[in-house]
A and B are shown apart, each in its own frame.
Chain A
Amino acid sequence: MTTLAFVNLPVADLGRSTVFYEALGYRFNPQFTDEKAGCLIISDTIYAMLLVRPFFGEMFGRPVADAHATTSIMVCLMVDSKDEVDRLCNAAIASGGRKYKDVEDRGFMYGWGFEDPDGHVWEVGWMDPAHVMPEGEPA
């Protein structure tokens, strides 16, 4: 059975976040989306659950951190081309995201990133598959 990952993130305004992520070309799974939570589909194994802040705090029984003030997670997505990296980051910035870092181009590896409206940091990158060794093979 394939493992699925859900990155759970608090958001101040789910409507605003929905508009933002839809502008990046993503869609939400309606089965797990309501007024308190949005299930953002990144791939068939990767999802982000966007949860309104009071609900998020209740779920975990702790105060919800302000991602505009501190950084305790950075979510990195590796996509299948440099063009896709640029498309996602440019769409994010055009939709109210903030650039998080400049383009880093090392030839075999390319990436930059953005912050979403809640301050969550997303890095988007591409890696030349030929450069990545088969998993588990020591360097």
Chain B
Amino acid sequence: MPTLLFANLPVENFARSRAFFEALGYHFNPQFTNENTGCLVISDTIYVMLLEHAPFAGFAPRPIGDTHGEVQASLSLTAPSREAIDEILAKAEAAGATVDPEISDRGYMYSRQFTDVDGHIWTYLWMDPAAVEAH
């Protein structure tokens, strides 16, 4: 069985976050989703658990930080093409995210990022497979 990633992030209002990520085209796994926690399916090995502050604090060893003013982590996800990135960023902006105007385009690598309603930063990147050496 492949390793699975569940990145757990605190959100202020799960219903709002759910609507936001559904507007981006994602869906939630109903087995691990309830009214204040949701399992956002990115791929068959990558998931993001969005937990409202109360349930998140129940697991976290320390108080939740200021996710708007500071940054403790961010997520980068690969996308199949530049166009796919532009499309998801446009959907994010329409759904209330703050899109970073800076576009990083180095030819073999293209990336853009947005900040979601909770201050979490999401980067989408495309890499030319030919430029990525097998590791």
Are both chains from one complex? yes
Query: Which residues of A does B touch, CB under 8 Å?
Result: 1-10, 29-31, 41-46, 49, 56-57, 60, 62-65, 67-80, 100-101, 115, 119-121, 123, 129, 132-133, 135-139
Residues of B close to A44: CB separation below 8 A: 2
**Which of the candidate stretches B16-24, B43-51, B89-97 sits at the interface with the other chain?**
B43-51
Contact of A73 among B44, B73, B135 (CB under 8 A): B73
Task: Say yes or no: A46-B3 contact (C-beta < 8 A), given A76-B49, A139-B30.
Answer: yes
How many B residues touch A, CB cutoff 8 Å?
A: 47
- A-B pairs, 4 with minimum CB distance: A70-B65, A65-B72, A71-B60, A6-B76
Task: Say yes or no: A43-B73 contact (C-beta < 8 A), given A4-B78, A71-B64, A73-B7.
Answer: no
Residues of A close to B77: CB separation below 8 A: 3-6
Instruction: List the A residue with the shortest CB-CB distance to B73.
Output: A73
> In the complex, what distance in Å separates the CA atom of A129 from the CA atom of B67?
34
Give 12 A-B pairs besides A5-B7, A9-B72 with Cβ atoms closer than 8 angstroms.
A5-B42, A10-B72, A45-B2, A60-B74, A62-B71, A68-B62, A71-B61, A71-B63, A72-B65, A77-B3, A80-B1, A136-B27
Q: Which of B53-92 contact A (CB under 8 A)?
A: 59-67, 69-80
Minimal beta-carbon separation of A92 from chain B (angstroms): 15
Minimal beta-carbon separation of B23 from chain A (angstroms): 19
Cβ-based interface call for B5 (8 A): yes
Task: Say yes or no: A45-B45 contact (C-beta < 8 A), given A31-B135, A71-B60, A71-B64.
Answer: yes
Determine if B5 and A41 form an interchain contact, defined as CB atoms under 8 angstroms apart: no
Contact of A70 among B3, B27, B72, B78 (CB under 8 A): B72
Determine if B76 and A29 form an interchain contact, defined as CB atoms under 8 angstroms apart: no
Contact of B71 among A4, A7, A60, A135 (CB under 8 A): A60
Instruction: List the A residue with the shortest CB-CB distance to B113.
Output: A60
Residues of A close to B4: CB separation below 8 A: 77-78
Q: Which of B87-135 contact A (CB under 8 A)?
A: 121, 123, 132-133, 135
